[in-house]
Structure 1
């Protein structure tokens, strides 16, 4: 599953992957980078194909392994309190 040397990811696609890694929705990504929702979806579709990814989580994992997205760019959410069972 290697990325073809002659077809590296564009800066825009890396930018979208970073936002995806941070949990943004398609609509939120579109608003953040000032492009249409369909443009984000098209970029994601080509990115998945280019990386050989099945979905967004898979694409983010591949992007992190390949260094397109660095761990420090994805802050972890604060831990949530455990759920209490009803008695």
Structure 2
């Protein structure tokens, strides 16, 4: 029997990213590996779900911020019908809140696109073996904020409106709350984030991944 017959089949990878050049670069890198094969590509979450159903890849590389159905929603949906799906997030967003959201949704790992290429290749192998793979910087951020009280959905909704330039009165009307309630909520937000004004609250919330600065 030849040695080739004993080699395990290549790791079948689905690459999901809304930037075609990024997809091409990743696919080229992975197809160069003797133990990997890119079996499909998708440009958004909806395509990712459809491609996963069709291809049943071993590992899915998933971007987070994409038009339409985002990465976290796609992870939730894929894991709903394939509980053992191995999904590795590859993103430009280093925020701990984003990472925790993705990992809670069922992602097995969270890497940054600016990481070294060997880290991505090693992470795919690790995730395929059932392990977790999280960038060191992300792991540090998660650990740093592990004991912080997270922002609630209402607080995040208020911050999004603050980021859009709305005054307290406008936010109150928009969320059907009193101006006093908005002021109290902002005070709580500032306390949780360790800031003293609206500008810093928005900046820090965006950096940590609570809100999308480009939404």
Q: Which residue of 2 aligns with 1:66?
A: 208
Q: Which has the higher contact order (CA 8 A, sep 6+)?
A: 1
Contact 1:3 1:51 in 2 (8 A): no
Unpaired runs of 5+ in structure 1?
74-87
* Alignment CA distance shift 1:3-1:36 (3 Å): farther
Q: Which residue of 1 aligns with 2:194?
A: 52
Is 1:9 the counterpart of 2:151? The answer is: yes
> In the aligned structure 2, how far is the partner of 1:71 from the partner of 1:44?
18
> In the aligned structure 2, how far is the partner of 1:55 from the partner of 1:3?
20
Displacement after TM superposition at 1:7 (Å): 1.7
Is 1:19 the counterpart of 2:158? The answer is: no
Runs (4+) of structure 1 exceeding 6 A deviation are none
Contact 1:17 1:69 in 2 (8 A): yes
Contact 2:172 2:178 in 1 (8 A): yes
Contact 2:190 2:197 in 1 (8 A): yes
> In the aligned structure 1, how far is the partner of 2:161 from the partner of 2:145?
21
Unpaired runs of 5+ in structure 2?
1-143
Per-residue CA deviation, residues 26-81 of structure 1 (Å, 9 max, x unaligned), is 000000010000000000000001100110000000000001111222xxxxxxxx
> In the aligned structure 2, how far is the partner of 1:67 from the partner of 1:35?
25
Aligned length: 72
TM-score by length of 1: 0.77
Q: Which has the higher strand share?
A: 2
